[in-house]
Structure 1
Amino acid sequence: MLFSGSTYAARSTVSRARPSLLWGAMALAGAIVVPPAIAETGNPYLAQSYNSVTHWDHGGAQNAKIAVPRGFYDATPASEQLVPNESVSLPLLSDKVNGKDVYWWWAGFSLRKLTEDHGQLVELAHADIPVKLPNYTPVTPEQRREQAAKVQSFLDTKDEKGLLDYMKSQPNRMLSAASDQIANGAVYAVLTRDDAFIGCSGRTVFRIDSADTKNPASPLKLTKLITLPANLFDNEKAKHGTRLPVDMLFGLSITHNGFLVVNTLGGKVITLDRHTLDVIDSYTVAGNDELFLNSFATGADAHGGSVYVASNTTMYRLVVDAHGKIHDDEASGAWKAPYERGERMPPPKLADGTGSTPSLMGFGPKDDKLVVITDGAKKMHLVAFWRDQIPAGWKQKPGMLSPRIADQREVDLGPGIDVVQSEQQVSVFGNYAFVVNNIAPDDARSAPLDSAPYYVNLLLGATRPAGAGAATMIWQQDKHAWKQLWARPDVASISVVPMISGGSHMAIIDGYFTKRWNDRQYIGMDLDTGKTVMTIRGGTDPIFNGMYSPIKVDLQGHFLYGTAFGLLRLDANAMRRIANPDTSPAATVQGTH
């Protein structure tokens, strides 16, 4: 067990990073530029920080204005710090409490409150939730590190059978760790204005509060845990349309007028009181086979009640009124629009339709106001919907399924990549939108020995090839249209949600170069050119496997996010500089016009 006040063991003492070779004028000597704007989320009911929900902010942009060091590095023991987890651990949220940076990290079955002290992450408090999973026995932090080392040995020898047998033998349900988070953990979570952590899993919603919101070291307490009524779920619908056996909660956020919202796999959106967690209202999609396979974004539109959520057939803006009631009529400001759902794809896709949580774009007075997803086409399109009023005189574009679609463009990764589909959110920043492909080619898609997501995710890119390709498009405000700037068929993002570092003007993935499988890298690509401008080599160690988490960084530009075996913090200032490893002809950037 980890105890309050203890300092987590790092491989070496870590010093604060000082970035170099940062993007243009965004860098000052010895300091990272952090524009003041990132201190505000725009949602008065969320923590007023740059990182208040699982996908950074309420709009699902998956970006930060924080600068991350450009350059090429090998991770060293001195540059790494791992806080071992209990199971897969996705949400990491942050806020300032009495002037101190504090992190709320979901460790699998408990919430840890952390801060940094002389380059070390220190636990301030923790709170557990009940674990109702059968045959689960917790392991110590030391045992978790041993598990990571053992997994690495199996991956290095490409022993998929040995790895499977080992995972099955572990007392902490290692094989089902990813699925366990959906059933009894937290995938989507928020940090409220008063620094309450609210998460959901299975059919449960819970709230964990600090005893004293002005004291960083104040104890945490599980104050509310409720199970939603069975009549809000449809097991048969979920089972028929996905690979999941039961209906469950899938997303969570807070509207700008203060209501907690969750959605279900089976196609319901539900409002709750954010304090008591009492159910207020629910909305059900009309389609017999309509499902929600991702979370949602919220916005200030429609008097702060807008909820942008995409089913596998339709993009919705629902409106939550001042009483928490959900509306889908135009008079309330709601709308819906069909998009191309495509066909059911192999894993990691769960079903047909979009694999992305909606992302909001366009906030300037003259910007097009958009909400963005990828669709379900075999070669997916990047689809932008008008999120507020459709411009006067606007005519539906040829090939679009609705006048609500401002534009859509096929993501072209070049010859030889005929299937392009993603289970990741679109990362947006300004007019830029970055997407990745998660579907492996047919000749590399042999079935693994077990379909457990944690097991498969460890294999992909290590013992077998994975889906490859990434691309950036830019929204042309004058033409109301996408333009693809570049594509990279030679990089692979396995399951980790990419991010855009606005301060360094690059898109970042956690994955591989396709010519260097089982040699994990963080790869930063210039937003305009696609050229590799940053790499951090993690090698074969699975602690660098982000395992479905969104990539995140702290205010100092350190990578800091949940991975397969814990919370990982990386300090580029303590790494070894190397030559750019991206030298193969396959790394040529493919621009499209």
Structure 2
Amino acid sequence: MRDATKEDHALPHHHTATASFPARNPYLTDSVYPMAHFNPGATDSVPHAGPTKGRKLVPSDVKAVMLPFTSNPTVKKIGDSTIVIAGCTDGIRKIDATGDKFELVSILPYPGMEQLPEQSTDAALEGLIAQLDAAARARDDAKIVALTKQAEELNFSRKLMANGAYGFIDRDGCHYAAFAATKILKSTDDNDPAKPLRILQVADLAEHLPEGTHLVVAAQLYDGHIAAMAYGHMLLLDRDLKPLGSLSFDGEPVENSVCFDETGLYVVTSRHMHKIVWTGSKLSYDEADGGWRSEYNTMSREQATAAGSLTQSGGSGTTPVLMGFEDGDDKLVIIADGDPEGTNLVAFWRDTIPDGFQQKPGTKSRRIADQIRIAISKVTIEPSPEVLGTGVIVLNCSFPQPVADIFGDTFTGGLTRPAAKGAQKFEWDSEKHAFESSWINSEIDNTDVMVPVISAATSMIYMASKADGNYVYLGLDWETGEERARWEFPDDSRRWNAYGGITTLLENGDLMLGGIFSVKRVCIGEG
């Protein structure tokens, strides 16, 4: 195991990483980012090239659209136009990203929540940024934490974070987003780049969900059906949002997104990993129907809270990710668990368990292909693992001195309190049916808890970080973990944060970053 550092800024160019990707879902729009986590396998990797030449950014390099919070903006093409649709805590924003543009076209409030965008105006958000910047420059920990209340008043809160968090754009150019606990909004711009989004349909699924639950994700499967995941429950809908089937998880929370292949849907709850299939008449994880369910190592809620875990249930905090897309590949689904002795990277056999495979010591079932201790974190990982080929990377997001508040953690971490640090890569050995640690970079500041993106063409990982408390974007070598490029943001403002998002690598090499206060296009593409 090597410990890569942030030295050697001018490493030689490495070869293109060899990897395959999930088959394109024909029911989704054909773009670089039709859904959360890029593709049905949730690999957070792309075949096209990212930038390779680091530099200090100037203000004109960063174009922003103000908003309270967005995690996963999606992208579609309309002729020669590139349109970004961002599900936010207060509504849906349409942005024209054609060429080098990044301009707001429209804001569509969630029905029944029209007052929210009136609260999170550009002026109000700029006012909060100014206060936060002053507190950060003074290293005033108490003031930073106290600003949490103002952030909540401007629609950044746990209560609203599920609004629009995991959406998608279908093949007709319509955008789907969950909001207001039990509702799904289907919107359209009639595939006209200049037109605002309008409501096409609203489905309130409350009568089909247990009382007190809330939707956290909507995803369109390879057969066109829509999986609506809720806290302890799921629904299968048709494209008109009519319920076809339901499945209970016995009160076990689903806290993040899902992944899927042509044979089933992979869902992790606070206690079990599932493969769920639709038989044509019911949703099932029964092996007789082609599904399965497996326990994995977890901790109690109390243990999770005491350890500073961002995941409150004590289970996995990650969106599952698939590995293996070609004939002959080991077909795996991967999570980080909630083991109280230290989180593990865990791989489950997606399909038939190989003949003669023996259950490994310390695992909860024979369905688990392997698990290995993640050295950089003691509690479960929140950013989902990212996969390219047989490699997988995880980030530490354990705050050494947590505030127990998401706003406070991200803005005090790496500034007035210690940062959550470290990235680790593992490789899957198909002959041994085992993970091996490849490298650790212990210098990466992960206080933005942002999912990186991997480019196969440049063999680089692009990730949000901080240096001396100020925001930077880094390009790490996929094979070694060493830093190959660094982009420093123009100044020391907190406006450059990318909290809770997923890095989108646009086709020209520019980065698109979600986060608090705005969605940003960082114009560093070299194509």
Query: What TM-score do the two structures reach when normalised by structure 1?
Result: 0.79
| Structure 1 pair 226–126 and aligned structure 2 pair: CA distance change class (3 A) | same
Which string of whole-angstrom CA distances, capped at 9 and with x for unpartnered residues, describes residues 196-227 of structure 1? 111113423333333533x3334421122222
Secondary structure (helix, strand or coil) at the match of 2:126 reads: helix
CA contact (8 A) 1:210 1:218 kept: no
Q: In 2 relative to 1, CA 530–211 (structure 1 residues): closer, same or farther, beyond 3 Å?
A: closer
Give, in whole Å, the separation in 1 of the partners of 2:12 and 2:455. Answer: 11
| Distance in 1 separating the partners of 2:183 and 2:514 | 21
The 5-angstrom pairing of residues 59-138 of structure 1 reads: 59-85=41-67, 87-117=68-98, 119-130=100-111, 132=113, 137-138=118-119
Q: CA 1:564–1:186 in structure 2 vs 1: closer, same or farther (change >3 Å)?
A: same
State the SS of the aligned residue for 2:326: coil
Q: Give the aligned residue type for 2:222.
A: H
Deviation at 1:469, TM superposition (A): 1.5
Task: Specify the SS of the correspondent of 1:282.
Answer: strand
Determine helix, strand or coil for the equivalent of 2:131: helix
Q: Does 1:178 align with 2:157?
A: yes
Q: 1:36 to 1:338 in 2, by over 3 A?
A: closer
Show CA shifts across 1:42-90 (max 9, x none): 21211122211121112111112222222432221121111111x2112
Aligned to 1:537: 488
Q: 2:257 aligns with which of 292, 295, 302?
A: 295
Matched, 1:161 2:126: no
8 Å CA contact 1:206–1:222 kept in 2: the answer is no
CA distance in structure 1 between the aligned counterparts of 2:277 and 2:492, rounded to whole angstroms = 47
- 1:519–1:123 Cα change, 3 Å: closer
Quick check: 2:182–2:206 contact (8 Å CA) kept in 1? no
1:504 aligns with 2:481: no
Offset at residue 131 of structure 1 (A): 5.3
SS of match in other structure, 2:293: strand
Aligned AA for 2:169? L
1:391 maps to amino acid: P
Deviates more, 1:118-127 or 1:221-230: 118-127
Q: CA, structure 1 residues 317+23, in 2 after alignment: closer, same or farther (shift >3 Å)? A: farther
Confirm or deny: 8 A CA contact 2:298 2:337 kept in the other structure: yes
Deviation at 1:556, TM superposition (A): 0.7
Using the alignment, how far apart are the partners of 1:22 and 1:43 within structure 2?
36
Corresponding residue number in structure 1 for 2:3: none
Q: 2:265 and 2:19 mapped to 1: Cα distance?
A: 27
Structure 1 residues 550 and 61, CA gap change in structure 2 (3 angstroms): same
Report deviation, 1:260: 0.9
| 3-state SS of 1:78 partner | helix
| Cα drift, residue 92 of structure 1 | 0.8
Residue 573 of structure 1 deviates from its aligned partner by 6.1
- Counterpart among 298, 310, 313 of residue 341 in structure 1: 298
Q: Does 1:272 align with 2:237?
A: yes
C-alpha separation between the residues in 2 aligned to 1:117 and 1:280?
38
Report the equivalent of 1:314: 272
1:107 deviates by: 4.2
CA distance in 1, matches of 2:372, 2:320: 16
In structure 2, C-alpha distance between the alignment counterparts of 1:23 and 1:342, rounded to whole Å: 43
Instruction: Show CA shifts across 1:20-47 (max 9, x none).
Output: 99954559xxxxxxx9988x85212111
Task: Please list the CA deviations of residues 519-558 of structure 1 after superposition, one character each: whole Å capped at 9, or x if unmatched.
Answer: 2222222121111112222353222211211111211111
Q: Offset at 1:230? A: 5.2
Match of 1:263 in 2: 229
- 1:487-527 C-alpha deviation (Å, 9 max, x unpaired): 122222122122222222122321235xx3x1222222212
Q: Does residue 417 of structure 2 align to residue 437 of structure 1?
A: no
The separation in 2 between residues aligned to 1:383 and 1:64, in whole angstroms, is 23
Matches of 1:169 and 1:471, distance apart in 2? 36
- Judge conservation of contact 1:94–1:101 (CA < 8 Å) in 2: yes
Moved over 6 A (4+): 35-38, 133-136
1:528 matches 2:505: no
RMSD: 2.8
**Structure 1: 5+ residue runs without aligned partners?**
1-19, 28-34, 236-246, 575-593
Q: CA–CA distance in 1 between the matches of 2:227 and 2:380?
A: 28
Q: Which amino acid aligns with 1:179?
A: R
Closer, same or farther: CA 492–572 of 1 in aligned 2, 3 Å: same
Q: Which amino acid aligns with 2:161?
A: I
Match of 1:285 in 2: 249
Aligned length: 509
Aligned letter for 1:457? T
- Structure 1: which amino acid aligns with 2:508? Q
Letter in 1 for 2:425: T
Q: Shift of the alpha carbon at 1:381? A: 1.1
1:374 aligns with 2:327: no
Gaps of 5+ in 2: 1-9
Residue equivalent to 2:38: 56
TM-score (norm 2): 0.89
